[in-house]
């Protein structure tokens, strides 16, 4: 357990350093760079500490990690994890009612099936991908345009992602 906590601590420090350094700039390309860097780092780290030798995944470790990590200068950056084979949410940093639920039919206000689209991006792709969708902003309490990035956690059918609200 101590090894896991140390690994999580190192990852958190790395993510904080990356996001703090990059987020001082502005623009879509910077947002994409931030998302890709933090999600990729988290995917690799979770693949190293949460995947068991028999190929099973320790969802407790994933949930602990997702609950603990915030990034960006205002700490608004967070992670979510889904299984791309069935669109079940494994972990969500801000929506505690999501884990264990099938989100196949969740649609944003524009009619996009968000979990399905993220699953398409990750299912047959090496690396990750971006998606623009609409999500409830905890600050404004309104659904707003968001740029998301998702990537498969190595050795699993799970993907981890994050997003940044885009300027109106």
Kindly tell me if the per-residue pLDDT of 140 is higher than 90: no
Q: What is the mean pLDDT of the chain?
A: 84
Q: State the pLDDT confidence band at 98, using cuts at 50, 70 and 90.
A: very high
Q: d(Cα 157, Cα 119) in Å, to the nearest integer? A: 10
Task: Give the chain's length.
Answer: 168
Scored b (16 or more CB within 10 A) or e, 21-52 reads ebbeeeeeeebebbbbbbbebbbebbbebbbe
User: Half-sphere exposure of residue 32, counting CA atoms within 13 Å on the CB side?
Assistant: 8
Kindly tell me if the per-residue pLDDT of 16 is higher than 70: no
Kindly tell me if the per-residue pLDDT of 84 is higher than 50: yes
Do residues 112 and 103 touch, judged by C-beta distance below 8 A? no
Please report, for the chain, the start and end positions of each structural domain, with discontinuous segments joined by +.
Answer: 2-165
pTM assigned to the model: 0.83
- What is the arithmetic mean of pLDDT over 44-69? 91
Q: d(Cα 125, Cα 121) in Å, to the nearest integer? A: 7
- Lowest mean pLDDT of 8-12, 18-22, 90-94, 120-124, name the range: 18-22
Kindly tell me if the per-residue pLDDT of 162 is higher than 90: yes
Q: d(Cα 83, Cα 50) in Å, to the nearest integer? A: 14
pLDDT (0 to 100) of residue 21: 45
CATH number of 2-165: 3.30.450.20
User: Half-sphere exposure of residue 71, counting CA atoms within 13 Å on the CB side?
Assistant: 32
């Amino acid at each position: 357990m101590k090894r896991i906590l140390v690994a999580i601590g190192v990852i958190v420090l790395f993510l904080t350093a990356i996001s703090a350094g990059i987020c001082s700039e502005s623009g879509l390309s910077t947002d994409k760079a931030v998302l890709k860097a933090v999600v990729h780092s988290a995917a690799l780290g979770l693949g190293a500490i949460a995947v068991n030798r028999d190929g099973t995944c320790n969802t407790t470790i994933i949930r602990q990690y997702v609950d603990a990590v915030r990034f960006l200068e205002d700490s608004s950056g967070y992670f979510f994890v889904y299984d791309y084979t069935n669109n079940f949410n494994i972990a969500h940093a801000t929506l505690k009612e999501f884990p264990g639920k099938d989100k196949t039919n969740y649609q944003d206000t524009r009619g996009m099936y968000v979990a399905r689209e993220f699953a398409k991006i990750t299912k047959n792709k090496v690396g990750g991908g971006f998606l623009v969708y609409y999500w409830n902003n905890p600050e404004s309490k309104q659904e707003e345009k968001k740029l998301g990035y998702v990537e498969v956690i190595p050795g699993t059918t799970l993907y981890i992602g994050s997003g940044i609200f885009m300027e109106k």
